[in-house]
Structure 1
Amino acid sequence: MFEGADHLQHQLFYQYSQCNGKKKALCIGINYFGQSAELKGCINDARNVSQFLQEVWGYRQDDIVMLTDDATNPRQIPTKDNIIQAMRWLVNGAQPNDSLFFHYSGHGGQTKDLDGDEADGYDEVIYPVDFDFAGHLVDDMMHDILVKPLPPGCRLTAIFDSCHSGSVLDLPYIYSTEGKIKEPNLAAEAGQGLLSAVTSYARGDMGGVFSSVSGLLKTATGGGQRAEKKARETKTSPADVITWSGCKDSQTSADTFEAGQSTGAMSYAFMTVLRQNRQQSYQQLLLNIRAILKAKYSQKPQLSSSHPIDTSILFIC
């Protein structure tokens, strides 16, 4: 059972998209020019992904919306309002077998979870260019806009090349490199929480200590399992939604330099692997993306979905 957009309980029914309907894409790249945490590769990522979608998967340029903070058109600046409007455009009129693609490269973070669907007690967020006064975008809201309206058999592929992005679209099924759905590991969670608390204390990061200890308490009281159960009840979707995230919720994603230009490590790895070979299963793609990044970075890209998937089938978008 899952909770639908009408907030009623429905029997779980889903179907894979054939991806032979309409194709639409939204690519967002934010460098935060002149801000204290300016990035270098995010606009390049958005442009590269747009080109990749056209060359490898047959998307039309007219069906790709770009939001970058070097745009001259005010509607194409990645403000919070423009991002929300563009997200709504992406899913508007979606039909079974349509293929929608969402790419975000920019800053990500976490904020306290208020509705009890996060095992670690924190929601994931992304930061629009005007976040200083407009605020961030929380995963619950992005899920409501991008996932809930989609019908069964409609594909949305999302890439988040940002920090703390493991579950940033609130898809409740996360996969291991063996292609299996990850289940809560209470002993591992407790150990990781204790390690994080010690590391934060050593750095003098008392906020990190509080966060880690809060996570430990949640684990010890079974809160993580309750959160996971709630997430699957309220965030499972009959639509065919996939997220490729640059790292785990607890990790950061690298803004780096590859192939002669500034780029996000996840965006670079995703495109590199698929340009080498389009014919890959979900599991193979996850393994190959991780293999590229493992040599240079500590981040571990994540694959998650809106319903259970067979990771041995071919990835298409």
Structure 2
Amino acid sequence: MDRALLVGIGNYGRLGQPLPGCANDLAGWGSCVAANIAAGSGNLRARADTQATRDTLIDDFGWLLSDAKPGDQRVFFFAGHGARVRRRDPDTGATEAILSETLVTYPVASEGRETHMIFDRDLAELIDAVEFPASARLTMVIDACHSGGMARRLGDEEDGPLVRCMSFPDEEEDEARAREFNVAEVRPFGSAIVEAVPRDFSVEAAPASRVLVAAASAEQRAWDDRMPNGKRHGIFSYYALQAIATQPQMSFDALIAAITPPISQRFPQRPMLLGDTGRFSGHIFN
């Protein structure tokens, strides 16, 4: 049984910094996934804006991974803000020395930033906690910045390009942003998700076969802009969906090769692949 979880957050409520292209990305990927995987009734979930809280998405991700059988395919798509912060110890309140990158969910509480953040270590723990068969496939497509916050607030500038990086005004994040290009001090998003996947392994010893398709490399930002169809989209999602529509059985490698030139002509953004390298030359969808 195949399953998919699709998330698009363009309205961040009290956090501001809207991303109007995420609604179109969610609709586009929803149609694409429904057409390309064998997801029956009730096996495709879509969450938008206020529906996409941290607690809801953590529960949804558990559902996405559960009851997987050999040969099953599970797909996770996220369009929204990423951020770069120092994670806090929940017991002591101390912050880590290294910056971690995270997905920003819809905020329902004001107790702290981590109430609306999902770190890759959160997702990695969920993956490792279930008995996910080695022959089942997990594909994660993330159209958000993995390079951290930006130096200015976005406001409501819907007519120009927007960066999918959440900015925070407090002093701690100002300091973090000042150091954001010191990559040695940053834990890239996806590193925890895929770090358990070796390049060479036996089928018996293999962990879950996971591939993460990132809209931008670790030191870059992902962009949201008005595209040739007259609508706003994530630059990555727009070109990726066009490529897959033209060639549904394309490989991960072929997708990156097809979309990198048109993306790089407009913005300094380069999509990348992480995870099970043995799947890169295979079809994106089974």
Does TM, normalized by the shorter one, top 0.5?
yes
Distance 2:52 2:109 in 1: 13
Q: Percent identity?
A: 22
Q: Which of 99, 121, 127 is the aligned partner of 1:122?
A: 99
Residue of structure 1 in register with 2:143 after alignment? 161
Across the two proteins, how many residue pairs are aligned to each other? 238
Check if 1:49 corresponds to 2:29.
yes
Distance 1:143 1:27 in 2: 18
Question: Deviation per CA, 1:145-190, whole angstroms, max 9, x where unpaired?
Answer: 1455222111111111001179xxxxxxxxxxxxxxxxxxxxxxxx
Contact 1:165-1:246 at 8 Å conserved across structures: no
Query: Structure 1 residue 111: deviation in Å?
Result: 2.1
Residue of structure 2 in register with 1:201 after alignment? none
Residue of structure 1 in register with 2:76 after alignment? 102
Query: Structure 1 residue 295: deviation in Å?
Result: 2.1
Q: Which of 121, 145, 156 is the aligned partner of 2:126?
A: 145
Contact 2:134-2:207 at 8 Å conserved across structures: yes
Contact 1:147-1:241 at 8 Å conserved across structures: no
Q: Which of 248, 260, 263 is the aligned partner of 1:290?
A: 260
Q: Which has the higher helix share?
A: 1
Query: Structure 1 residue 46: deviation in Å?
Result: 1.3
Question: Deviation per CA, 1:197-252, whole angstroms, max 9, x where unpaired?
Answer: xxxxxxxx754344445x56x69xxx99xxx8x99765656211111111112221
Query: What secondary structure sits across from 2:35 in the alignment?
Result: helix
Distance 2:8 2:24 in 1: 7
Question: Deviation per CA, 1:37-86, whole angstroms, max 9, x where unpaired?
Answer: 0110112211211111122444345311111126xxxxxx1111111111
Per the alignment, do residues 232 and 266 of structure 1 end up closer, same or farther by CA in structure 2, a change over 3 Å counting? closer
Contact 1:124-1:249 at 8 Å conserved across structures: no
Distance 1:147 1:104 in 2: 20
Looking at CA atoms only, which structure, 1 or 2, has the larger radius of gyration? 1
Residue of structure 1 in register with 2:208 after alignment? 239
Query: Structure 1 residue 268: deviation in Å?
Result: 1.6
Contact 1:108-1:164 at 8 Å conserved across structures: yes
Distance 1:53 1:231 in 2: 22
Query: What secondary structure sits across from 1:163 in the alignment?
Result: coil
* TM-score in terms of structure 1 length: 0.66
Contact 2:251-2:280 at 8 Å conserved across structures: yes
Matches within 5 A, 1:55-66: 55-60=35-40, 62-66=42-46
* TM-score in terms of structure 2 length: 0.72
The gaps in structure 2 that reach 5 residues or longer are 90-96, 149-173, 199-205
Contact 1:242-1:304 at 8 Å conserved across structures: yes
Check if 1:313 corresponds to 2:275.
no
Check if 1:37 corresponds to 2:17.
yes
Per the alignment, do residues 292 and 136 of structure 1 end up closer, same or farther by CA in structure 2, a change over 3 Å counting? same
Query: Structure 1 residue 310: deviation in Å?
Result: 5.5
Q: Which amino acid counterpart does residue 25 of structure 1 have in structure 2?
A: A
CA RMSD of aligned residues (A): 3.1
Distance 1:38 1:158 in 2: 23
Residue of structure 1 in register with 2:170 after alignment? none
Distance 1:30 1:264 in 2: 12
The gaps in structure 1 that reach 5 residues or longer are 1-21, 71-76, 167-204
Check if 1:302 corresponds to 2:281.
no
Q: Which amino acid counterpart does residue 54 of structure 1 have in structure 2?
A: A
Q: Which amino acid counterpart does residue 213 of structure 2 have in structure 1?
A: W
Check if 1:255 corresponds to 2:229.
no
Distance 2:141 2:78 in 1: 6
Q: Which amino acid counterpart does residue 94 of structure 1 have in structure 2?
A: A
